[in-house]
Amino acid sequence: MRAVAVTGRERSAALPGVPTVAESGVPGYEVSAWFGFFAPAGTPAAVVNALNAETVKAMRLPELRERLGSQGADPVTSTPEQFASYVKDELAKWTRVVKASGMKAD
């Protein structure tokens, strides 16, 4: 088996010689799995920021980055505001895809 492209916006650190789908001729294509932490609505900003700071610190640990990298993950951190914007954009993108496809939940 040979990898022909990765679906993220950037090349994968695990497969640096494999181009992205966008580089392979489909401009704007980007699909990635992502994970994040959410807190209940109304959580005080100080608590959210403290949790974010600790998460960012943990994601910088070489052993964690190595472990995630060995599984093909490229860890990315952001601010709570950046993450909220990303989630909003992802919801809008996938809402358009579902509507365009005509898919219905059973």
pTM of the model: 0.81
Measured CA to CA, the distance from residue 43 to residue 39 in angstroms comes to 6
Answer whether 72's CB lies under 8 Å from 16's CB.
no
Answer whether 22's CB lies under 8 Å from 10's CB.
no
pLDDT band at 98 (very low <50, low <70, confident <90, very high): very high
**pLDDT by residue (tens digit) across 5-46?**
999 999 988 889 999 999 999 999 999 999 999 999 999 999
**pLDDT by residue (tens digit) across 42-81?**
999 999 999 999 999 999 999 999 999 888 888 899 999 9
DSSP assigned state of 77:
-
